[in-house]
Structures are given as C-alpha cells and as structure tokens.
C-alpha cells in the first residue's frame, strides 16, 4: 500500500482545515468568513473520524463475543463528532443571525468598512 492511499483522509482533512483558515484570515466579507468557519469545522470533523477509523474494523455494538478488541472501531470519536456537528450547526445559525443584525445596523457586511465606521 502506498503513502497516498493510506493517508488520503488525513490529507483531505488537513486540506479542508487549511482552506477554512485561509478563508477566515483573508476574506473581508462576513458571510465568506462564516463559510470558511464551516469548512474549517468540516475538516476537523473529518480528522476526528479518521483518527478513530480502523481498516477492516468492526463496530463494537454489533460484534460477537469472540472477536478481538483490537479489530473494533473506536466509537468515541464518532460520538464526539456527532455532538460537535450539532453544536456547529447551532453556532453557524447564530453567526448568520449576527451577520444579519450587523448588516441591519451598519448597512454592510464588509469587515473593513465596519471597522472604519466604528472608529
């Protein structure tokens, strides 16, 4: 098995994290920053799921009593990611609501123009 096929999920996860960070740090449109935050979150979720992945592993819930514990997939990262997705959706909804309120107050969602109007 070569390097790329073994670490494809890690490469994808870190690519999403880097793309999300780039968007958050570079873009000045508040909605684009929120989208970058969502992409960043997705990369973290993929990384956490990849950490718990085991090739040819079985789910511990549906396993037989005679199976080796080393061949079972770790369910903790999956549970953490499921919880994090629910929290992430709530935070994303709150961020969009705040962006709408900022637009109503300042008339723009350009972060540079908002900073200029504040000072």
The pLDDT value recorded for residue 53 is 75
Here the CATH number for the domain that contains residue 37 is 1.10.287.3510
pLDDT, tens digit (0-9, with 9 covering 90-100), for 59-91: 777 656 666 666 777 788 888 999 999 999 999
Coil, helix or strand for 7? coil
- Rounded CA-CA distance 74/23 in Å is 32
- Look up the domain containing 74 and give its range: 3-59+67-118
Which residues of the chain are under the pLDDT cut of 70? 1, 3, 62-70, 118-119
Q: Which residues contact 111 (CB under 8 A, 6 or more apart)?
A: 28, 29, 30, 33
Q: What is the four-CA torsion angle of 99, 90, 88, 97, rounded to 10 degrees?
A: 0
Can you say how many angstroms the Cα of residue 107 is from the centroid of all Cα atoms in its chain? 30
Taking the alpha carbons of 68, 69, 73, 75 in that order, is the dihedral positive or negative?
A: positive
Report DSSP letters for 49-113, one per residue.
HHHT--TT-B-STT--TTS-GGGBPPSHHHHHHHHHHHHHHHHHHHHHHHHHHHHHHHS--BHHH
Reference 8, options 46, 39, 41; nearest CA is 46
The pLDDT value recorded for residue 81 is 92
The pLDDT value recorded for residue 67 is 66
The pLDDT value recorded for residue 72 is 76
- Number of compact structural domains in the chain: 1
pTM beyond cutoff 0.75: yes
């Amino acid at each position: 098995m070569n390097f790329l096929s073994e670490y494809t999920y890690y490469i994808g996860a870190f690519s999403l994290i880097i793309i999300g960070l780039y968007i958050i740090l570079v873009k000045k449109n508040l909605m684009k920053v929120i989208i970058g935050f969502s992409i960043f979150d997705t990369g973290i979720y993929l990384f956490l799921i990849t950490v718990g992945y085991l090739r040819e592993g079985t789910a511990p819930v549906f396993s037989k009593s005679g199976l080796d514990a080393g061949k079972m997939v770790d369910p903790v990262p999956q549970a953490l990611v499921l919880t994090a997705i629910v929290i992430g959706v709530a935070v994303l909804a709150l961020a969009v609501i705040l962006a709408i309120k900022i637009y109503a107050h300042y008339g723009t969602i350009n972060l540079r123009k908002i900073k200029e109007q504040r000072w």
